[in-house]
Amino acid sequence: MTLSFDQVNPTSTHIYNPTNKRLSSLDASNKSFRHNIKMLFSTMLASVALPILAAATPIDLERRAGGPAIVPLAANCTLMNPLPHASQHPGNGTISGYVPSSSFSASKVYSWYIPQPDFLTREARWSNCIEQCNGYSGCVSAYMAYNAPLPKGWLGLPGGELEVGCFMYNRTLTPLDFVVATEGQYVNATAGNIYCPKAGSASATASSNASAAKSTGTTKKKPVKVVA
């Protein structure tokens, strides 16, 4: 058998060694194994972390984004309570177990939901609800309740969760527009109709009063003689 120079020359940098091939193969296998373990760990970490992050992320901010502006009612506006038995619940009083009927819901122009428990008081949350209605063109009444079921498909959610709900309408509510709700739903409800005098009517009234005063001041009347 004839040996090549590289096989017998001890100073050659290309000494033939069959073990080198096996070592190279093992090294490549180790790299592949480490890569697979790293990818598996990353996948497991993501599957655990994402649900936790989703659960910890508040959703009311996204729901309220782009909503109507909060506009306080003018001093000359009046808020009337249309809840059933309103005489027992004056002002911003509440009632449980009543909700606007499905037929009246066709007049709904906007709504939002807030997860419970709420960090605001009922008075503060209702103030936001009715003032958003005041800031929404065409809205004249609003209804807010706790334990309002989230509709199926709302923002891609399965629905059914009981939350704080605010509903705004372009029609005034009356006690006859309410129906009995499912037990345990729509509790501590508040509603209101916004009544504001029209600017034209106020101007016309002021102008009429001014004209009458001017006419009275310039017209001289003969004194009436009182006969005893």
pLDDT tens per residue, range 108-124: 999 999 999 999 999 99
Helix, strand and coil content of the chain, in percent to the nearest 5, comes to: 40, 20, 40
Percentage, residues of the chain above pLDDT 70? 55
Tokens representing 105 are 């819901």
pLDDT in tens, 123-154: 999 999 999 999 999 999 999 999 999 998 87
Find which of 22-26, 35-39, 139-143 is predicted with most confidence, using mean pLDDT.
139-143
Q: Among residues 184, 193, 174, 190, which one has the least CA distance to residue 103?
A: 174
pLDDT at 93 > cutoff 80: no
- pLDDT given for residue 227 in this prediction: 31
Q: Domain coordinates of the chain in residue numbers?
A: 24-54, 61-197
pLDDT at 228 > cutoff 90: no
- pLDDT given for residue 39 in this prediction: 61
Q: Among residues 194, 169, 191, which one has the least CA distance to residue 85?
A: 191
Tokens representing 148 are 């309002």
How many whole angstroms separate alpha carbon 143 and alpha carbon 64? Answer: 17
Find which of 20-29, 84-93, 103-112 is predicted with most confidence, using mean pLDDT.
103-112
Mean pLDDT to the nearest integer, 82-108: 83
How many whole angstroms separate alpha carbon 95 and alpha carbon 98? Answer: 7
Its pTM surpasses 0.85: no
Tokens representing 180 are 């009995």
How many whole angstroms separate alpha carbon 163 and alpha carbon 143? Answer: 14
DSSP 119: S
Amino acid at 206: A
Assign 13 a pLDDT band (cuts: 50, 70, 90): very low
Amino acid at 67: G
Identify any residues that bridge with 124 across adjacent strands, giving them in sequence order.
none
Write down the residue that tokens 């940098």 correspond to.
Answer: 13
pLDDT in tens, 178-227: 999 999 999 999 999 999 988 665 454 445 455 544 444 444 444 333 23
- pLDDT given for residue 69 in this prediction: 93
Q: Indicate the burial class of 95 (C-beta count within 10 angstroms; 0-12, 13-18, 19 or more).
A: buried
- pLDDT given for residue 157 in this prediction: 82
How many whole angstroms separate alpha carbon 52 and alpha carbon 44? Answer: 13
Mean pLDDT to the nearest integer, 33-53: 51
